[in-house]
Amino acid sequence: MTPVLEVRGLRVSYGGLRAVDGVSLEVRHGEIVSIIGMNGAGKSSILNAISGIVPPDEGEILFDGESIGGLATHAIVARGIVQVPEGRMIFGTLSVEENLRVGAHGRGGFLLRERTRADFGRLFPTLADKLDRPAAGLSGGEAQVLALARGLAAEPRVLLLDEPSLGLAPKLAADVFDLIQRLREQGLTILMVEQNVGRTLALADRAYVLESGRIALQGSASELLSDSRLVANYLGMSSTSSCNTT
């Protein structure tokens, strides 16, 4: 089966500093694929290069076998790849519904479709009765849910999630992971970056471990969970665990 999204030999740098150094990865239809790594390993840069936010130095990005490298972000969103950015970036001065409508902007719409609205009521009951409120008044957990919902309003085929559980209390983080699981059940393909390695691997089909811009390990989630190197470095089960607390 050909992958929906494929990255080949990606190199990204900022002002001469190389953040991503020759990364190749693929995401097949209906999969949750995770990129794991420490702060500054280049995880977000990969997502930003796929989204067209950051221009890559080198490498190919293929969506459905077609190159999307060099396209502007709005063109990439229109094709069906939508990123939920790190830090949520919801529009605080806009209402919750307007935030969702900005999401719908990506697929060329203005108002929410009835079907989308019904989906939201089911998937995001916490937001359903706050549609008219300014988004600045939402709690951190609600804001993350809104960021996800806003991304979905663009009706993507591939969703890129950048640190969806960052800054959330464990209970709220668990809710967000549940939500991601339910999105996969709806047939969405997901590429996510996470620091919460244990939870991510419980959710993901496959994962790539990134170190200093290069892929150090890759494999199915279960393979990686039994890999001693990963366990030692990222899961905090040995004395060298101090580096993964973020």
Judged by beta carbon, residue 93 or residue 245, the one nearer another protein is: 93
Count of C-beta atoms within a 10 Å radius of residue 39: 10
Question: Interface with another protein includes 202 (CB under 8 A)?
Answer: no
Nearest to 215, CA basis, from 227, 203, 207, 223: 207
Judged by beta carbon, residue 19 or residue 90, the one nearer another protein is: 90
Judged by beta carbon, residue 28 or residue 105, the one nearer another protein is: 105
Q: Is 203 helix (H, G, I), strand (E, B) or coil?
A: helix
> One symbol per residue from 14 to 53: x for binding another protein (CB under 8 A), - otherwise; what is it?
-------------------------------------x-x
Footprint of another protein on residues 72-131 (CB under 8 A)? Answer: 72-74, 76-78, 82-85, 87-94, 98, 101-103, 105-107, 109-110
Question: Interface with another protein includes 172 (CB under 8 A)?
Answer: no
Q: Smallest distance from the beta carbon of 154 to another protein, in angstroms?
A: 6
DSSP element (H, E) containing 217: strand 214-220
Question: Interface with another protein includes 138 (CB under 8 A)?
Answer: yes
Q: In what order do the strands lie in the sheet with 66-67?
A: 17-27, 5-14, 58-63, 66-67
Q: Smallest distance from the beta carbon of 166 to another protein, in angstroms?
A: 10
Judged by beta carbon, residue 75 or residue 202, the one nearer another protein is: 75
Helix 140-153 with 114-123: angle, nearest 10 deg:
150
Q: Which residues contact 44 (CB under 8 A, 6 or more apart)?
A: 86, 162, 163, 193
Distance, in Å, from the CA atom of 246 to the CA atom of 241, rounded to the nearest integer, reads 11
Judged by beta carbon, residue 25 or residue 84, the one nearer another protein is: 84
Q: How many helices (H) and strands (E) does the chain have?
A: 10, 10
Distance, in Å, from the CA atom of 26 to the CA atom of 218, rounded to the nearest integer, reads 11
Among 23, 35, 145, 154, binds another protein (CB under 8 A): 154
DSSP annotation of 227: -
Beta bridge pairs of residue 206: 33, 220
Judged by beta carbon, residue 74 or residue 229, the one nearer another protein is: 74
The footprint of another protein (CB under 8 A) covers: 51, 53, 72-74, 76-78, 82-85, 87-94, 98, 101-103, 105-107, 109-110, 135-136, 138, 140, 143, 150-151, 154
